[in-house]
Structures are given as structure tokens and as C-alpha cells.
Structure 1
Amino acid sequence: MIRIKLVTGDDEKASAEDNKDDVDNSLLKLKALTACRILSRDSTDLNESIENDHVDLMAQVIDSSSLRWSTEVKFEGKKVLSNCIQQSETVRAYCVQSDLLSKVFHLITSHKAYDEFERFDLRLMFLLTAKCEELRTVANQKLRAIEGLTTCLQNITRLQKDRKTVPSDEAVYMGELLKLLFNVTLAVDQADDKDKLVRLCTALDHAINLPFHSDADQQNVITNMIGLLTNMLDTKDPTLVIFPPNNTNNIDKLLNFLMKILESMDSNDGNLLGLKQEISPVLMVLWGVSKLHPHVRKYLKSVILPPLTTEDLKRKPEEGGSPKARLVKLFTNADTQISMMAAEFIFVLCKHNVGKMVKQTGYGHAAGLLARRGLMMGGRGDEEFSSDSEGEQEEEEGYKKEAHKVNPITNVVEEERPSPFEGMSDEQKEYEAMKMVNMINDLMKTGIIKPATVGPDGKPVEVEHVLQLQEGLNIPPTSDDQSDSD
């Protein structure tokens, strides 16, 4: 194992006295740190090679107030420390005991350039709070990190007053800052720290409406802001600052962000990882704020689930490029988390009314959600929603004209087809029926299919024999179509 030691100031003096050669010590330190950075990428034997003194030395190197080290040396020291935090449990354990987090946070609060050199401080604190859960509590309670980082975000937004667009470096810095805020707010108590979160959301509202240099910069900021908002869906006041009544600009930005991702996925089939990383957070935020704020839910419903017309019923709910079609298409996504979240979001827009859900998506698409919630017999979910007086008649008008022709499974008006039993005698019909029963029974025995009936709790119950499917066919009418005031 190669060990590389950086000489301290005292050692440097002694070395200079013993060696009269003109050595560029700054260049030597830089090369030594570069070697350390490369070696620290490999975690093999790293725990055994690093001592606490080495971490303390790196903390001295990155100190912005020290004149002993050049900027290049400090930057390389940050990279070494970053690798060590990622790769070494020993380093992380020592970081919890030491005051490294406090030193890094102090560097962040003094940032003014917002360049790559300063962004690495954000990366260091992000790694510390991501890898060491204890440090999130320290950051909140001891360092008051939410207040300090919110001030940093406010300082950046104030710089943009006299600028046409946000420089790309500052946009990238904002993205990294929002990532760090995500970690810090994981340990926050949303009720006790409500005032802090309201102040943070006020800064977020200003940030999301800045004129960015490029779409990529704006997408980066919005992506990380969405991640941060997933930690604030338990209380109303903070998110109400970003999504106020009578102003839909910010909710439009999130919805447009989601639609752009779904459009890009059309030409990138099979990218499930990209789907989960990009779509899950924004679906969670849209779902959460729709539950919290009636005005948001009502607006999103008007955009995603507009009144049904006869034209809508000529094509399946998942066909086309409308927001509704793209979201319904997610119901059958191979990633169960994405399919569940998309269905739950639409269900919230329907105010947990099963009849409205089936009317908008078809029973086939809604069946998975209804089975999970025990609502296969109809009814409503447990959540309570506010009552809105307008829009009911308009929504029902176009639908009622063709309602008797709609296939409830696909939610589309299908062309009339001749009956397959036409021209058959009763004996032939009975023969074909028993043939189908035997085929289904064979498939059940091999485990290929598992037929089920709806149990008393509204959830599917697997049957042991195909003839059990005949039981309970006289299902009483449900109250799904009861009047809803949305």
C-alpha cells in the first residue's frame, strides 16, 4: 500500500533548511493530492490506510481562510475528501464525531462566486448528510442549516434583478443547493419547523420563476426543486406559498415538466430507470399538492380530465398525446411504483369517486387500484374532499349521449359485432360453454391464471374451482354515479 503524506508548515521549514533545491512546494502538494484522489477511488484497504489525522489535514487544506494552500490545492483536497467520504466507513464514522460538517457549512455560508470550486462544498455537505443520517439532525438543530441554505438561495436570486438570464454556473449551483436542502429537510419536523419551510418555499417560488439561460438549466433547477418538495407534503402552509390560489404558473411548470418527460419516453422505450428517477417525484408532488389544496386539484382536473365528449369516447383513454392519455398509459407500466402513483394521482383528481374514475379511464385500467383499495364493488375512498359547485352538468352532458354504448372495461364506444352464438342451438352453446370452463380449469391447475371473485372487503379473492365464478353474480347496483359537486 502506497502512503502519501502532505507536509505541514513546520515540516516544510525543516525541509527547506535541509534541502536548498528550489522546489515548487505548491506543485508538489497538488501532485500528491492528485495521487491521493486517484487512489481513493478504490475502496480496497482504504479503511486500513486512512487515519483521523489525515481527515483533519484535509479539513485544513479546504479551509478558505488559510493562505498556506493555493486554490488548486484546496480544490484537489475537496475531491480527495469527497472520495474518502464515499468509499470509507472509517472516514464517515470520524466525520460524525468531528466538526467537519460545521467547517464545510461555514464555507457554504460565505460563498459569493457560485463557481465549480464553491459547488464542491455543497457536494461535500451533501455526501456527509446522505451517508451519515446523524449529521442531518446536527445540521438542523446545531447549525440551523435550513435557514443558512435558504439565505444562500435568496442571495442568488437577488443577484438576478439586473440580469436578463441566470448564468449557467449559478443555475448549476442552485441545483446542487436544492439537492443539499433535500437531504437536510429529510430530518425536519414539518409542524414544528413550519416557519422555516414557509421561508424556504418563498425562496423556491422566486427561484422557479427566474429567467434561465437555457431550457436545460431550468429543467435542472425544477428537477431538484421537485425532489425537495417531496419532503413538504404533510402541511399546507409551505406549499401554499408556491401554489397559491388564482395563480397557476408554478403548477403549470410542473405539469409541463412531466409532459416533456413522457413525450421523450415515447422515443426511448424501456428506460425504466429514467422513468422512475424523473417521473416518480413529480407525480408524488402533483398528487400531494392536489390532496392538500382544493384549488390545485380543481385546476389540474380541468386540464387533465376535461369534460367527456362523444369524440373522446371514440378512442381509448390511453390513445393520443393529451395529458390524460399519457397518464393513463402509465397505469400499465412495468414498474409497479410508477403505475400505482399515476393511478393514485388520477384517483385524487376524481376525488376518490370510483364511478368517476371508471368513467374517465375505463374499468380495465382502474381495476388494479380498485383491487388494492378494496373498491372493486364501487363506492368511495376514505379521503374527504372539499365540495365545488360548478362543472357537474357540463361534465356529464357529452357522456350521457353515448353512455349506453360505452364498453365499461375499455371506456370506448365499440362497433357492434355479430354475436358469436348466432345460429347455434342451445346444445351447441352449452357444449362451447363447458369447453371454455374446462380450458379455464386447466389453466388454473397449471398456475397460468388465477381467477378471482370480489370478496366482502371489496378485494379480489382467489377461487379454488372455476365454477365458483358463478357465485354472487347478482350484484346489487352501486352508488358510484351519485352526484358529485366537482
Structure 2
Amino acid sequence: MEEAALKLLENANDDDFVRLLTDFNTRFERQFTLPEMPSDSWARLWSVIFHRLVNPAASGMLLTCLNTVRILSRNKAGVDSVVDRDRVSTLVKLAGLVTEEEALTRLNEQINYDVVLEAQKSLFNLVYNSKAIQRYCCGNSCVPGLMCRMKLFRDPDVPHLVKYFDMRILFLLTALCPDIRPQLRTEHHGLTYFIEVLDLEIKTVQEFQESSGLSNNQQNMNLVFSVEQSDLMNEVLKLLYNLVFNLGKNGPDEEEESHCLRLVTILRILIMSSVKEEEKTKELHSHTINLLLLMPPQTYEELLMPMPSASDVGGAMAGAVGGEDPDLAQSYEYDGKDMTVVAKILNYLNEQLRAPHNQYFTWKTYEPGRLAKETLNPILTLMCEMCQANRSIRKFLRQKILPPLRDVTNKPEDGETTRNKLCSLMTSLLIEIKHLSANFLFILCKENVDRFIKYTGYGNAAGYLAGRGLMLGGRGKSVDYSSDSEESDTEEYNQIKDMINPVTGQFEPPRPSPMEGMSEEQKEHEAMKLVSALKKLTDQKVIKPCRIDADGKVRAVDHILELREGLNCPPSNRANHNDSDSD
């Protein structure tokens, strides 16, 4: 703001003051970078606005002043020098964030929610841009006021945007100030109230669909939310994520576990539900899966339900998962349980595997790689956790992803099935995704190395096995899996089993030997050429000879002759490859 305009603002009457601020707001409403101002002019502008905000006689211009504060609060530079504790308290009070005792004294007052909303937006910007203001809001009536108003969310007079920004401010505080998370969980009973917000939105849609005759399944889980409802629930899901972070890993107490069980029941409904806009549906499912990943492993049983009656199966199955693999079009019943939710999560994984930014990425394409980590890491981690925690889930997913092999004419990574996509990720440049993809398949194989290689090919599996010290075969030791067999080799697979290349995992018809017709001298000459080439690569440090130690891990050798050690050992001294878990 120019010096002349600033002087006019300082000396203006109410009408001129509103007119000057309105012109400023109109000019900079859609700009997120304000022009530079001298520090004293910046301080004077904030001072003259807050002078009006704290003046009871200036209630008619509150909305205009707060609109200006919202625009000014976008500028991170210099905020700490002009917004002190008192000014933050003024915004908190204008946002209606007061303690429960004070709220009771203001029950009969008329609330201007337009003013409340502008104050919320200004507060959100300031909390985002200033660590000092974050500390102020953690110590004043901001958090108690937010929790107090949450008890009024059932009131239809409370606008949706007010609820939405309440949750956004709380999410921001819990994300930037971890110290208040225990306070929200214990003193304010945050888990209870936040879960009730989700429950309220779910019941609202259920009642609407029942009254409209749109509910067509017994369990009433295929809900369709509005965009506004999904936005609010997404903020609550992110907020709950901050509150329960590490809760399941450290072992929740009895009360916390009951909250988690109830929360998983709600998350099951959200996974089965959708939003009127497709992108919002994906966003809701993404946040739901992120939160589900933090739940204690024993709560995953809540995702499964008894099978509905025969009259309800058709409607529920028809609308459960759309646009998915043909494999998933089958019944979702397995082991006497309804696996519809697990199939929905698998369908979400398939959508992420087919997303363009998840299929091809190099070190030069940082953005697609970052997006791949953000979308694939949570769902792959959740799949691993669910399979290790629940035997029925693992067996169902194995049936869908790794059915008995029939056609092995293509490499495991070539094709459009879930198995093909996961095998292709096993050689990804993104280390975390590569490890998670391999680990998921390894768990589905009950950590059986021979079975793992059978489905992925030794070339794809070698890096993962080397990292776990399983290059000599055997079985992982992380989970005690059931001993019953889950498959038998198909007749088609057995017919060509001996002609499958174990490295590529692909059927290769017999080919003539390249040394056929050579004399012994020619063979020796070709062998010496190969030795010479390998020595040259070794001397130039392009490759380094390695061997597999007794612990199954790869170790570099100092001399080529070390590779001969152990070749003539009797079979009893070698690693035991026998596996009682028959295919």
C-alpha cells in the first residue's frame, strides 16, 4: 500500500475506511504474493486494521477488516514482527473459539458466521506461516474452543465451511506442534469426538439413502457422499492420522484399542463408499488407507464380515468394485467371510499400479517418482501388514494375485495383471517401492524362496533375496505361517516346467547348443576369450566378482580363485533347499 493511501486509511472515517480497504481487497484478492512494503508501513497497516477490530463500535466493518487480514496473512515475511499474542487472541475470539464456560454465557448471542469464517481463514494462514503463532494457539483458547464447537456439529445452523476450517486448523496444529497430540487424545478426548464426526456424516447419508429407497444392500455400506462431506471427512482422517501415529506400533491400551476397533469399522464403510466426483473418491480412499495402515494388526479382522444372505449378494457385489480386473469380478466370499472390502483395497492397488506416473520413472523425472512413492508406498505397506496379520486376507489375496501358473510364455513382468505390475516394480529405481513390491509377493508366497522365484523369476528376485540373506534358498523367519498347502501345480505348468528359464521365469523352447560342432580347441579358445573379457571388466572395476557365503548373503571376493571354494563340498554341507510346504 502506498504511503498516501496508508495516511488516508489512518485518518479516514468509517465509510472511507471501508471503501479504501475494499479497494485493497479487490486488488489483491487473487494474489498470493504481495508487493514489498517498508517494515514501518507494514506495521502501520496491521496496526490500523487491528485498532478497528478490537473496537466494539466498529462491528459493521469486521468482515472487511478480516478480509484484509486474510490477504495480508499470506505473506510469510514479517508476520512475527506485527502479529503478537494479543492480536492472535483477537482473531481467535472473532473466530468464536472460546472456552466452554464462555460459550455458555454467549448462548443467546447471534453468531455472524461470515465473520467467523474470515477469522478462521486468517488464523489458518498465520498458523501455517509462523512458529510463534503456532505456540500462541497451543496455549490460548484456540484448541479448547475448536473442541467445544465440535460438540455443536450436529446443529444444522453451523455452516459446512466453518466445520471444515475448524478441522483444517486442528490438523495444522497437530501436524506442526506434535506436543499437543497427547493433550487432544487425553484431556479433550479427541479420538472419541473425531470418530463421531465421521460417524455423523455416515449416518446422514445412510438415512438419506434409506428414505430415498437407494439402499440396496443389507449392510448399508455402499454410500455416496457429497463433495462437501468428503472434504470434511478428509480433514478428519488426516487429523486422526496425526493423533494415532505410532499408536498401534507401541501397543495401545484397552481404551485406545476399542477406539481403533470402532475406527476400523468406519474405515471399512469409507472404503466401500464413493463421492459424486471421481477424483474426490480417490482422495477419500487414499486418506482412508493411510489411516488404516496405522491401526493395530489385530484390528484388521474388523474389515471382514459374515457373508450376507443370498438375496443381498447380487446388489452388493454389482456395485462394490467398478472397472476392475476380470479376476476381481468373481465372488468375494472366501473362508466363509465377506472379502468385499479386501477386494476393494486390491482394486485401489490396481488403479495405482496403472496410473501413468507410477509406471515409468527415472532419476531425471523426479516428480513422477515422488508421486509414485506417495501413492504406492502406503497401499503396498498396508497389503504387507494385512497379509502378515490375517491368514484369511493373505490366502484370498494370494488366490487373486498369484493363482496357479498356466501360461508362462511371457516374462513375469510382462502383462497387465497385478502380478505382472508388481514384478515390474521389483527392478524399479525407487528403492522403497522396489522393496515393498518384492516383500508383498514374498509374503504371499509364505516367504518360501522357491515359490517366490517360481512366480517372479530369479532375475527379478535376486536383489531382494540378497538383501535378506536368502540367496541359497530356504524361508524367511519373520512370520509363522500355516503349514497347509494352498496350491498344486497345474497340468499345463508341469508339462513345460523343465523348459522354464529360472532367471527370466519364462518358457523357452529348446535351442541348439552354440558350441555344437566345435572342436575341443575351439571351445577352449572361446572360454579363454570369456575369461579375458571378465578380467578386463574386473580390472576396470566395471564388475566385481562375488560369492554367496554360508549366511546366504553376497560378499565380494579378493581373488578369482575364491570362487572355487565350496564347489566340491558334499551335498550335506550345502544349504538345505528342501521345503515341507509343498506346492
**TM > 0.5:** yes
Q: Distance in 1 between matches of 2:277 and 2:464?
A: 39
Q: Which moved more, 1:258-267 or 1:455-464?
A: 258-267
Q: Secondary structure at the match of 1:453?
A: strand
* Cα pair distance change 1:96/1:440, threshold 3 Å: farther
Q: Taking every aligned residue pair, what percent have the same amino acid on both sides?
A: 30
- Which residue of the partner structure matches residue 539 of structure 2? 445
- Which residue of the partner structure matches residue 204 of structure 1? 267
1:258 aligns with 2:355: no
Provide, for residues 290-319 of structure 1, a one-character-per-residue CA deviation record: whole Å limited to 9, x for no partner: 00000000000000000012x2x1111111
Across the aligned residues of Structure 1 and Structure 2, the Cα RMSD in angstroms comes to 2.5
Residue number among 21, 39, 49 corresponding to 2:82 in the alignment:
49
Q: Distance in 1 between matches of 2:119 and 2:559?
A: 69
* Cα pair distance change 1:432/1:347, threshold 3 Å: same
- Which residue of the partner structure matches residue 293 of structure 1? 390
Q: Distance in 2 between matches of 1:342 and 1:142?
A: 41
- Which residue of the partner structure matches residue 257 of structure 2? 194
* Cα pair distance change 1:371/1:304, threshold 3 Å: same
- Which residue of the partner structure matches residue 548 of structure 2? 454
Deviation at 1:10, TM superposition (A): 6.5
1:413 aligns with 2:507: yes
Q: Which moved more, 1:81-90 or 1:254-263?
A: 81-90
1:308 aligns with 2:308: no
1:224 aligns with 2:267: no
- Which residue of the partner structure matches residue 63 of structure 1? 96
* Cα pair distance change 1:470/1:68, threshold 3 Å: farther
* Cα pair distance change 1:99/1:434, threshold 3 Å: farther
Q: Secondary structure at the match of 1:107?
A: helix
State the AA in 1 paired with 2:356.
M
Q: Distance in 2 between matches of 1:8 and 1:69?
A: 19
Residue number among 450, 464, 480 corresponding to 1:385 in the alignment:
480
Residue number among 283, 296, 303 corresponding to 2:380 in the alignment:
283
Q: Which moved more, 1:211-220 or 1:223-232?
A: 211-220
Q: Which moved more, 1:122-131 or 1:172-181?
A: 172-181
- Which residue of the partner structure matches residue 320 of structure 1? 415
* Cα pair distance change 1:436/1:155, threshold 3 Å: same
Q: Distance in 1 between matches of 2:164 and 2:567?
A: 65
- Once the two structures are superposed, the pairs formed by residues 93-108 of structure 1 within 5 Å of their partners are 93-108=135-150
* Cα pair distance change 1:342/1:474, threshold 3 Å: farther
Q: Distance in 2 between matches of 1:265 and 1:478?
A: 42
* Cα pair distance change 1:177/1:262, threshold 3 Å: same
Q: Distance in 1 between matches of 2:475 and 2:359?
A: 37
* Cα pair distance change 1:468/1:34, threshold 3 Å: farther
Deviation at 1:123, TM superposition (A): 0.9
1:170 aligns with 2:170: no
* Cα pair distance change 1:187/1:60, threshold 3 Å: farther
Deviation at 1:133, TM superposition (A): 1.0
* Cα pair distance change 1:428/1:249, threshold 3 Å: same
Provide, for residues 133-187 of structure 1, a one-character-per-residue CA deviation record: whole Å limited to 9, x for no partner: 1111111121111111111111111111222432221122222211111111115
Residue number among 283, 303, 314 corresponding to 1:242 in the alignment:
303
Provide, for residues 223-266 of structure 1, a one-character-per-residue CA deviation record: whole Å limited to 9, x for no partner: 1110001111x431x22112346111111111101101212227
1:141 aligns with 2:197: no
Q: Which moved more, 1:445-454 or 1:349-358?
A: 445-454
1:215 aligns with 2:278: yes
Structure 2 gaps, min length 5? 1-38, 98-102, 215-223, 306-335, 362-367
Structure 1 gaps, min length 5? 17-24
* Cα pair distance change 1:103/1:184, threshold 3 Å: same
State the AA in 2 paired with 1:392.
E
- Once the two structures are superposed, the pairs formed by residues 4-23 of structure 1 within 5 Å of their partners are 4=46, 5-7=49-51, 11-13=55-57
TM-score (norm 1): 0.89
Q: Is the 8 A contact 2:357 2:369 kept in 1?
A: no
- Which residue of the partner structure matches residue 181 of structure 1? 240
Q: Distance in 2 between matches of 1:7 and 1:243?
A: 59
Q: Distance in 2 between matches of 1:396 and 1:268?
A: 31
- Which residue of the partner structure matches residue 463 of structure 2? 368
- Once the two structures are superposed, the pairs formed by residues 58-97 of structure 1 within 5 Å of their partners are 58-63=91-96, 70-97=112-139
* Cα pair distance change 1:158/1:446, threshold 3 Å: same
State the AA in 2 paired with 1:240.
E
Q: Secondary structure at the match of 1:259?
A: helix
State the AA in 2 paired with 1:228.
L
Q: Is the 8 A contact 2:272 2:344 kept in 1?
A: no
Size of the alignment, in residue pairs? Answer: 470
Q: Is the 8 A contact 1:343 1:366 kept in 2?
A: yes
- Which residue of the partner structure matches residue 274 of structure 1? 371
Q: Which moved more, 1:333-342 or 1:186-195?
A: 186-195
Deviation at 1:57, TM superposition (A): 1.5
Residue number among 196, 206, 211 corresponding to 1:151 in the alignment:
196
1:126 aligns with 2:217: no
* Cα pair distance change 1:60/1:411, threshold 3 Å: same
Q: Secondary structure at the match of 2:510?
A: coil
Q: Distance in 1 between matches of 2:535 and 2:547?
A: 15
Q: Is the 8 A contact 1:363 1:410 kept in 2?
A: yes
Q: Distance in 2 between matches of 1:279 and 1:389?
A: 31
Q: Which moved more, 1:71-80 or 1:150-159?
A: 71-80
State the AA in 2 paired with 1:227.
N
Q: Secondary structure at the match of 1:356?
A: helix
Q: Is the 8 A contact 2:62 2:115 kept in 1?
A: yes
* Cα pair distance change 1:47/1:435, threshold 3 Å: farther
Q: Distance in 2 between matches of 1:325 and 1:35?
A: 55
Q: Is the 8 A contact 2:500 2:508 kept in 1?
A: yes
Q: Distance in 2 between matches of 1:469 and 1:458?
A: 15
Q: Is the 8 A contact 1:355 1:481 kept in 2?
A: no
Q: Is the 8 A contact 1:86 1:127 kept in 2?
A: yes
- Which residue of the partner structure matches residue 71 of structure 2? 38
Q: Distance in 1 between matches of 2:268 and 2:431?
A: 32
Q: Is the 8 A contact 1:307 1:398 kept in 2?
A: no
Q: Is the 8 A contact 1:226 1:282 kept in 2?
A: yes
Deviation at 1:480, TM superposition (A): 4.2
* Cα pair distance change 1:338/1:186, threshold 3 Å: same
Q: Is the 8 A contact 1:441 1:465 kept in 2?
A: no
1:333 aligns with 2:395: no
* Cα pair distance change 1:320/1:36, threshold 3 Å: same
Q: Distance in 1 between matches of 2:385 and 2:80?
A: 43
Provide, for residues 85-106 of structure 1, a one-character-per-residue CA deviation record: whole Å limited to 9, x for no partner: 2221111223333342222222
1:422 aligns with 2:516: yes
